[in-house]
Chain A
Amino acid sequence: MADKTKPKILHAGDSCIVAEFGSTISIEINSRVQVFRKRLSTAGIPGITELVPTYRSLAIYFDPTAVDPGSFIEKISSLSSDISSSTMPDSKVAIVPVCYGGELGPDMETVASHNGLTMEEVIERHCKPDYYCYMLGFTPGFSYLGGMDETIATPRLDDPRTLIRAGSVGIAGKQTGIYSIDSPGGWQLIGRTPLRLFDPSVEPPTLLDAGLWVRFKPITIEEFRKIETQVSQGSYKPVFLDKAGGAI
């Protein structure tokens, strides 16, 4: 019987192949991607140069001058059986403090009135779920988060802003996310985190990673300023919990 968990191996040029586990957004598919990524990263297959996990597939970059095409694909394929999604490879939760509303969240009123809610209700609903980080992409350190309460969904701005500060937390349709670098954008901004999502001078350069969970925690403007100072001095330690609730 065919192994249903086995990914499709697809060609993507002379230096990359793609192991595709499905074509939809689901935690089950994504966690298979994470399991396979871990498996390959410890398998020691010569020629592999980089593994890039996405929503539903794992891109396997390799040096074409270092491999025999046939046996390389065979090796990858032989390691791709029996990939279960039951063992979550990473059940860490990153706590992301956010100062909601005010000048750091200029679109909070829009989001609240669009959904017939108060600002407090928007904050509560935004902080309630743990969000699954499917992948990073779009800009360095930007995380694609899943799991937002659809009762706070709000369409993008008609007229995008030319500059949004890194750390801004926004809503676009049914998605929520954190701007990781200063960039233009059209998301409805409801708050800002003082944490650095992307810092090229540290290793690893990103706070989040695919397969992690994210929990937003409301903070006051005073706490925001305090953490911001600690972050710029390098003395702030980001908080990670395990999914069951204990500190790591």
Chain B
Amino acid sequence: MKLQVLSPGMLTTIQDLGRWGYQGKGMPVAGAMDGFSLQAGNLLLGNHRNLAALEITVLGPALSVKEGQGVICLSGAELDFHINNEKVPAWTALKVKEGDTISAGASAGKGARAYLCVSGGFDVPLVMGSRSTYLRAGIGGLEGRPLKKGDILSTGPNVSLWERSEGFICPQNLRPSYGKDEPLRAVMGPQDDLFTKEGIDTFLHSEYTISNNADRMGYRMDGPYVEHAEGADIVSDAIPPGSIQVPGHGQPIVMLADRQTTGGYTKIAVLAKSDIYALSQKLPGQKVHFRSATFEEAIAIAKKEEQKLREIDLARASYRSRCKISVPSLSQGTWSVTINGKSHEVSWELMDQKKGE
């Protein structure tokens, strides 16, 4: 497909899962802020999970299909989503064709970032192995910048049987739940030993507010002062995603997708990957708490999230084949059935798990 940008939205960039492998060269990773939603959106369409999508921030773009056809879906934050001015559901594979207009409006308060995925992904040149936009150096994506009015976006070739994914709805239990106020889980370290006991207690038992100083690089928190044992500066080391830096001002800064690769501030803890995504869906003014998770617990959470993505992929594959579904964890779904050329939506729910069909 070819799509023309009618309006770009607040900050819309092309992102995949990021430019990994070059942090040792000083190259920030960038990539989707909510990597789960990007992967889920791609899998809903039958794409490879790392294909490039549009990352939409708070207020979405409007696009017009100039050429071709394909399936699209909106994942992540629940924005008002329209095709040809008709409201359509998010987390659903929808067919579009030449002449259609796609628009994503404002967030209804559930999440800050949405992903517009298309079958075949957005086709921009790979730069150092990734299509992600890194704004600060103007690298990747569409000329290293956010979308602007008049841009023409091309998509890659449609996957085989792409039309049969149309109408697939991501099961509710496999979607992230935004707006919940559960504490963000963090593995303590690598420099938790450079804080006082009081400092760590403050960090783990206080409410923090996301400040206005919050972007793709990091979110600065406002809240109680986190006390260092001897000072906030260290000889620079690596900054993994979700690192919670505490500079001398005592306010935690959570480092996100566009973070620098190295830095010289103490890191009290690092967020579990799925809670990096959860934080990325929050906006300035929202409140967060942190809680300590063990390394083992954080890895178990990551494995559970991966399992959800596999289930989405399996559910989509079953939907595409329209055969009897024998995925044990799947308990409900919707089929699209065409009889005499008329399409019907059939919702179903598994009554007896043991029968498995």
Beta-carbon contact of B262 and A135 below 8 Å: yes
Is B299 a contact of A16 with CB atoms below 8 Å?
no
Nearest residue, chain B, Cβ from A57: B237
Cβ-neighbour of A139 out of B26, B128, B190 (below 8 A): B26
CB-CB under 8 A for A64 and B262, given A13-B240, A16-B238, A59-B237: no
Q: Does A20 interact with chain B (Cβ within 8 Å)? A: yes
Which one of A15, A69, A137 lies within 8 Å of B236 (CB-CB)? A137
Assembly CA distance A12 to B255 (angstroms): 13
List CB contacts (< 8 Å) of A40-80 with chain B.
Answer: 49-57, 59, 61, 64-65, 67, 69-70, 73
| A142 surroundings in chain B (CB, below 8 A) | 26
Query: CB-CB < 8 A to B238: which residues of A?
Result: 12, 16, 18, 52, 54, 57, 59
Residues in B with CB closer than 8 Å to A206 are 25-26
Of the candidate stretches B4-12, B152-160, B265-273, B327-335, the one touching chain A is B265-273
> A167 contacts the other chain (Cβ, under 8 Å)?
no
**B243 interface residue (CB < 8 Å to A):** yes
CA distance A65 to B298 in the complex (A): 11
Let me know if A136 and B24 touch, CB within 8 A. Answer: yes
The contact of B26 among A11, A14, A20, A137, by CB within 8 Å, is A137
How big is chain A's contact interface, by range?
Answer: 35 or more
Q: How far does the alpha carbon of A142 sit from the alpha carbon of B23 in the complex, in Å?
A: 11
Judge whether B237 and A69 touch: CB under 8 Å: no
- CB neighbours (8 Å) of B190 from chain A are 10-12, 18, 20
Roughly how many angstroms separate A70 CA and B25 CA in the complex, as a whole number? 30
Interface size class of B (residues with CB under 8 A): 35 or more
- Complex Cα–Cα for A59 and B20 (A): 13
CB distance A138 to B23 under 8 Å? no
Question: A13 with B271: in contact, given A64-B303, A205-B128 (CB under 8 Å)?
Answer: yes
> Per-position contact with B for A1-24: 1 when CB-CB < 8 Å, else 0?
000000000111111101010011
26 contacts between A and B (CB under 8 A): A10-B190, A11-B189, A12-B189, A13-B241, A13-B242, A14-B272, A15-B240, A16-B238, A16-B270, A52-B23, A53-B24, A54-B237, A61-B20, A61-B23, A64-B298, A64-B299, A137-B26, A137-B236, A137-B260, A140-B22, A140-B25, A140-B139, A141-B26, A204-B25, A205-B128, A209-B24
Given A13-B243, A204-B25, 15 new contacts (CB under 8 A): A12-B189, A13-B273, A14-B187, A14-B272, A15-B241, A50-B24, A59-B240, A69-B299, A136-B24, A140-B28, A141-B26, A180-B26, A198-B25, A198-B26, A206-B25
